[in-house]
Amino acid sequence: MFPYFLLTLSIVLELFATSMLKYSDSFTKVWPTIGCLLGYAIAFYTLTHVLKYIPLSITYATWSGVGLVATALISVFIFQEGYNIYTILGIALTVIGIVILNLFGNAGH
């Protein structure tokens, strides 16, 4: 259970860092820039510890996939960016891929 807590923490930090990247206005605002850099640094550090327990393929697919889906939702609901049927389809396919990898991705080990 602990590795999944670390994976969740890493995802949350990555989402924070990505949101700060948007707020940093191309690294022209100091505090969002610092938040972005620290968020990514701690997210990657945390991710290295996840890899001690969960295979790389599952870890990275989950981390990047959940991050992608959550970032798309943040962009729509917080940053008021648009979406269309292709956005929804892409998110759905990503979620399906994450589920398949988590259920069957490590079947040979």
pLDDT digits (tens, 9 = 90+) for 31-68: 999 999 999 999 999 999 999 999 998 898 889 889 98
Predicted TM-score of the model (pTM): 0.85
CA–CA distances in Å: residue 74 to residues 18, 50, 77:
10, 25, 5
Q: Do residues 44 and 96 make contact, with C-beta atoms less than 8 angstroms apart?
A: no
